[in-house]
Amino acid sequence: MTAADDTAGDDPLLEESLDWVARLKGGAPTRADVEALQRWRDQSPAHEEAFKAAARIFRNAGLAAGELADRPDAFGVAPVLHGNSRSVFARRAFLGGAVAAGAVGYLVVRPPLGMWPSLEELSADYRTGKGEQRKIAVSSDVSLELNTQTSIAMRSAPNETRIELISGEASVAAKRPSPKPFVMLAANGRISASHADFNARCLDGNVRVTCLNGTVDVTLDGKAVQLRSAEQVSYSSGGFEVTVPVDPSQVAAWQTGLLIFRDQTLADVVDEVNRYRSGKIIITNAELKLRVVNGTFQISKLGDFVLQVQQLFGAQARSLPGGVVLLG
């Protein structure tokens, strides 16, 4: 029996949580599965903590995947499995074989069209849903405002306040009395600031950091960039892009309930609107994707967005189940 099985045996909620993780990671989860999980988590704070513990076990199991792969006896199976034995074996096989596969690249189940959160996002310490925003006091001198579909995890570090931006967008206000900076991890980079306001956005491994006030240091693969007020830098697995000047009020407009677009393609605008609006808008016409948009939209009124696109560009809209809209 594995350590995870020993722990779960002493904690029925953790055992159920491990089963949830195995179910979501081992198959093809549907929206109904994710909604059922959320109802289970909402039953009590203990259910929520048990799920987060199970997700941590899953992440840590990846470290042992190589060792398990070299131990064929680790997954010995009796001819017939009954009752709880079947459940324990499913978890054991999942945490071993499935995680071993995950170690070579398949770490997070990505739902189709990104229409619901991944398992990693669901296991975050703080998370917002579509259209939701939330303020968090990380410490007495650091506060966050989370934008729509944002997931944050607390990361322990000696003598340092550190969090990870798993996905989404957050505005940070850091007023540290000591020289030790506040640190945000995003993708493979590190963002740090002692006295600054900055906006960080991490979507599909692409990160964009904007200094709104003060100075912000961004480090990636041993290279560092320092941002001053109204400067922005982007990075991904390919490295840093060139630092550019920006309008801080446009970057932070979401905090006042607005989305401001200047000379952006309709494809990029729709990608952004999809982060706030329920369902999913898909542009099926290549020419329509390239149409240029200049405008300001109220987040609270994005339900009218499809109609506005139809009126502006003469597009045709077709609604499908699940809130999917095809624009062409």
One digit per residue, the tens of pLDDT, for the chain of length 328 reads: 444 444 444 678 888 877 777 776 655 566 677 778 888 888 888 888 888 777 767 655 543 444 444 444 433 333 333 444 444 444 544 444 444 444 333 334 444 444 445 556 566 788 898 899 999 998 889 999 999 999 998 887 777 788 999 999 999 999 988 778 899 999 999 999 999 999 999 998 999 999 999 999 999 999 999 999 999 999 999 999 999 999 999 999 999 999 999 999 999 999 999 999 988 999 999 999 999 999 999 999 999 999 999 999 999 999 988 789 999 9
67 CB contacts (<8 Å, ≥6 apart)? none
pLDDT at 184: 96
Examine the domain organization and report whether 149 and 229 are in the same domain. Answer: yes
Same domain for 270 and 247: no
The pLDDT, as a whole number, for residue 10 is: 61
- Please report the beta strands in the chain, taking only residues with DSSP state E, as ranges in sequence order: 126-127, 134-139, 142-146, 151-155, 161-175, 182-186, 189-193, 195-203, 206-220, 223-228, 231-236, 239-240, 244-245, 258-265, 280-283, 292-298, 317-320, 324-327
Partner residues linked to 184 by β-bridges: 163, 191
The predicted structure's pLDDT at residue 212: 97
| Distance from C-alpha of 51 to C-alpha of 62, rounded to nearest angstrom | 17
Tell me: do 213 and 141 sit in the same domain. Answer: yes
Contact 146, 170 (CB under 8 A): yes
Question: Are both 155 and 219 inside the same structural domain?
Answer: yes
CA-CA distance, 304 to 222, in Å (whole number)? 46
Q: DSSP for 20-76?
A: HHHHHHHS---HHHHHHHHHHHTT-HHHHHHHHHHHHHHHHHGGGHHHHHT-GGGG-
Please state the separation of Cα 195 from the chain's center in Å: 26
State the Cα–Cα distance between residues 60 and 198, nearest whole angstrom.
31
* Tokens (6 digits) for 265: 């393609």
Domain end point (choices 72, 90, 121) = 121
Q: What is the pLDDT of residue 190?
A: 97
In this predicted structure, what is the pLDDT of residue 113?
43
> pTM (2 decimals)?
0.68
Is residue 302 classed exposed, middle or buried when 0-12, 13-18 and 19+ CB atoms within 10 A define those classes? Answer: buried
Q: How many CB atoms lie within 10 A of CB 290?
A: 11
* Same domain for 158 and 265: no
pLDDT at 122: 62
> Does 226 lie in the same domain as 201?
yes
pLDDT for the residue 19: 79
Question: What's the token pair of residue 86?
Answer: 């079947």
Q: How far apart are CA 135 and CA 204, in angstroms?
A: 23
Pair 104, 148 in one domain: no
Phi then psi for 249, rounded to 5 degrees?
A: -65, -30
Among 121, 145, 179, identify where a domain stops: 121
Domain final residue, candidates 251, 283, 315: 251
Q: Tell me, yes or no, whether 139 and 44 share the same domain.
A: no
Q: Supply the CATH number for residue 267's domain.
A: 3.55.50.30
How big is the CA angle at 187 (ends 53 and 159), to the nearest 5 degrees?
A: 65
Tokens of 259: 């989305």
- Tokens for 266, please give them: 């309709």
Question: Residue 214: which domain range?
Answer: 125-251
Pair 211, 180 in one domain: yes
CB atoms within 10 A of CB 165: 25
Say which CATH number the domain at 188 has: 2.60.120.1440
CA dist 232 and 210 (Å) reads 4
| Same domain, yes or no: 185 and 243 | yes
Q: Which amino acid is at 275?
A: R
Instruction: Please tell me whether residues 229 and 272 are part of one structural domain.
Output: no
For the chain, what is the domain count? 3
Q: Are residues 18 and 93 in the same domain?
A: yes
